[in-house]
Structure formats: C-alpha cells, structure tokens
Amino acid sequence: MEAIDTGNLRDLATDARLPGAVSARLQPVTQKGWMQASMFPEKCFREQTTADLPRPIGKAMSFRLSGLVAPRVTRFVSEQEFEGVVTAVDEQSKSFFARLTDFSGGQPEEEAEIAFDEVSPDDWSLIVPGAIFSWNIGRATESAGQVRRVSELRFRRFFRFSPSDIDSATKEAARMLSLLTDGNDEPASTAAVRK
C-alpha cells in the first residue's frame, strides 16, 4: 500500500483510498507541520503540530487531545456557606430574591437579591419560588499556586410533587389500607385483597 503524503488532514479525510469509516471520523485540524500516513498504523508519524495527530496503538489509530488541560484545584477554603430558598423571581431584571441561612457563622436569616448571572445558565430553569440552593463562597488554590475568589450557587435537583399529586397519593394509600384491614385495624381476608 502506498503512503499518503499530505500537508492537511482535510485532504486525508477526503482521500478515496481510505475506507469510509476512517475518513468519516477524521476532523480538520490546524497544524503547523505536516504528516505522512498510510493504511498501516505503524507507518504513521507526526511532526510539529498544534494538535496531536493519529498515532499507532497496536492495530488501531489513536487521536489524543492536545497537551492543554484545565488547571486543577488542589484546595478550596470555604469562607461563607449559605442555604437559600427562592422567595420571588423578577424576570425583567433577571434576578431572584432568596431567604438565606448562614451555615458558617450562625448569623440570623438574611434576604438577598441575586442576579441570574451568578447561576449557571443550565440551572436557570430551576429558579422558581420554593427552590432550594446552596451558596458557597471561598478561595480556590490551583496547583500552580494561583488563588481565585470563588462564589458558587448550586440548585438542588429533585422532583417536586404538586398538591393534587399528594392528594391522589393519599387517597390511593387510604384505599389500599382499607382493602388490607377491612376498614378496621384487623387484617383483611385474602379474598378482599384479590378484588
């Protein structure tokens, strides 16, 4: 099999000599260098690229992410921790009002207006009256030693029952109890349960 000599992965991805499954998985990559490849992984090599190119691992090709990684937080020191309950939402000003209980200092409950921007956009749909959240404020120290001030709000994700759901569940429980006890505190016969 002859080697494919190309300076761009886009050319490699559209090369007719590659099987469809391989060419469909190749994505364009910006590169400063060049690559020579063939259908045999052991003949691939890379040189001066901004992203890692395919490399052989046994009979398969491996695509690795570049060496850029997010800094790891090695330590977090909490300075203030609250549990909050949303009391009102103001859609026009994109903020909500909450009653906050301080877990770190024993202070009395406080009222606060908090902007939606303080909350992850994925959680905006959870901002409704009665929603419970935790608010943690502190310092995060990264592995390189840089210290950042962190304020994080996290909404609890749990199912909320409506009053009608609770009423129907209560009625069903009472019906089942009456079937099991024949309306009194004594167990029912098995014939009544089968009905």
The Cβ of residue 16 has, within 10 Å, a number of other Cβ atoms equal to 6
* Mean pLDDT lowest among 18-32, 51-65, 100-114: 18-32
Q: What is the DSSP string of 10-40?
A: HHHHT-TTS-HHHHHH------SS-EEE-SS
Q: Residues 55-82: pLDDT tens digits?
A: 666 666 555 555 555 656 578 888 889 9
pLDDT greater at residue 165 or residue 38? 165
Residue 45 pLDDT: 44
Tokens of 22: 């391989």
Q: Quickly name the fold that domain 73-155 has.
A: OB fold (Dihydrolipoamide Acetyltransferase, E2P) (2.40.50)
Residue 43 pLDDT: 45
172: phi then psi, degrees, rounded to nearest 5: -65, -40
